[in-house]
Structure 1
Amino acid sequence: MKIIDLSVPLYTGMPVFPGDPEVRVAVVQTYETHAWELRQLILGSHTGTHVDAFSHMHAGLETLDEIPLERFFGRARVVDPRQPDWPRDRGLLFIDEVGIEAAGKIIGLNPGFVGGNLTEELERALLGERIITYTDLIHLDRLPKETDFMFFGVPLKIKGGDGSPVRAFAILEDESPGISLKETP
């Protein structure tokens, strides 16, 4: 089994979307003063690698704590938006930017989630159809093409949350007994 980390690190002063809160990570307790370390995190709910709840762009739709946990992981595949054939019934992670013109095609493929370089208009359309979106994924180029893998991007359970940073990662299948991502008949 091989794990590929798809998340950007969080740190003070990291780039954020214009108008979002600046990120601050501060050590507030140390080993020397308290016998442990503790950090204070100040950041927006859409900081770094993050997931968007349906409520992020649609009033009245489900918030993070209302979306079942199993919606935040599953079989996925890297997709080149320039290729004509995309897989059905699995998460789609796009390496290159994909815009609103792909919305109908994506929705028709019934993905549980979509991630990568998505335009704001596409995110809005997908969230409106209750398709979870992930932003700021990295290392997608390290994932196999035309092969399924398991994707995980689980948010904090924020009551009423519109989004949350995640530790996103992919688990690649190997030849070990008992590890298989292939569909069973």
Structure 2
Amino acid sequence: MRELSHPISTGMQVYPGDPDVRIEPALELARDGVDVARLHLGSHTGTHLDAPSHSIPGGRTTGRIALDELVGDALVVHLVGLAPRSTYGLDALESALAGGLPERVPPIVIVDTGWAARFGSPAALDHPALDADAAAELMRRGLRLLAVDTLSPDPTVAGGTSFPVHEVVLGADALIVENLTGLDGLPERVRVGFFPLPIDADGASVRAVAFVDD
């Protein structure tokens, strides 16, 4: 089994404008007989799930997402050499796969841009973004969960209000997982699981895993 999620820690990188992350003692063993940590973080901290309600009025919250939507066979697309702030579309996805993009894709599609290596640095903000038309085509071919190793499948712009890929995917009542890591070397087909905190909200941090022998 392989870990695909970033550890959550005080001061870690968050999407511009999201709450800062703080983990601090609430109770202490020497003083209180037990250690208990106080957590301060947003619902989109680290590797996390976007529920439709994140950007779609009236959309589903995490409490209405079944676990079987978050576990299953995935298609992994490894894209290398993408330029900062570039946009990748269907042609890039097609050429990255040995047999091209299948007419029917598994419900889960993972895009590995290699940008996970930049997580925690200013360069993470300059990640490549998916073309909204390509996202719509993936939906037509069977996508129900889009997972990326970047801060967003859309361009990250501080104060930005345009999220076309979110509109396509979440607007169709499908799901997005952001900030994956550990994707290097995964086969094109792999079974994965995304296990969110059991809260009813617009999103939740997840423990992401690939079921492979490492």
TM-score range, shorter chain: 0.7 to 0.9
| Equivalent in 21, 26, 34 of residue 24 of structure 2 | 26
Question: Is 1:154 paired with 2:195?
Answer: yes
How many pairs align? 169
Which stretches of structure 1, 4 residues or longer, exceed 3 Å deviation after superposition?
A: none
Gaps of 5+ in 2: 80-91, 95-99, 114-127, 155-162
List aligned pairs for 1:1-185, cutoff 5 A.
3-80=1-78, 82-84=92-94, 85-87=100-102, 88-96=105-113, 97=128, 98-116=130-148, 117=150, 118-119=153-154, 120-144=163-187, 146=188, 148-159=189-200, 161-172=201-212
Secondary structure of 2:207's counterpart equals coil
Are the aligned partners of 1:7 and 1:167 in contact in 2 as well (CA < 8 Å)? Answer: yes
CA distance in 1, matches of 2:140, 2:202: 25
CA distance in 2, matches of 1:128, 1:173: 36
Using structure 1 for the length normalisation, give the TM-score: 0.84
Are the aligned partners of 1:57 and 1:124 in contact in 2 as well (CA < 8 Å)? Answer: yes
In structure 2, the CA distance between the partners of 1:80 and 1:99, relative to structure 1 (3 Å rule), is farther
CA distance in 1, matches of 2:101, 2:44: 27
Report Cα offsets for 1:110-131 as digits up to 9, x if no partner. 1231111311421221111122
Displacement of 1:173: 6.1
Gaps of 5+ in 1: 175-185
CA distance in 2, matches of 1:86, 1:131: 20
Secondary structure of 2:196's counterpart equals coil
CA distance in 2, matches of 1:110, 1:129: 12
Report Cα offsets for 1:34-62 as digits up to 9, x if no partner. 33321111000011100000111101111
Secondary structure of 2:13's counterpart equals coil
CA distance in 2, matches of 1:151, 1:172: 9
Using structure 2 for the length normalisation, give the TM-score: 0.73
Secondary structure of 1:166's counterpart equals strand
The percentage of counterpart residues that share the same residue type is: 33
CA distance in 2, matches of 1:83, 1:67: 28
Correspondence for 1:182: none
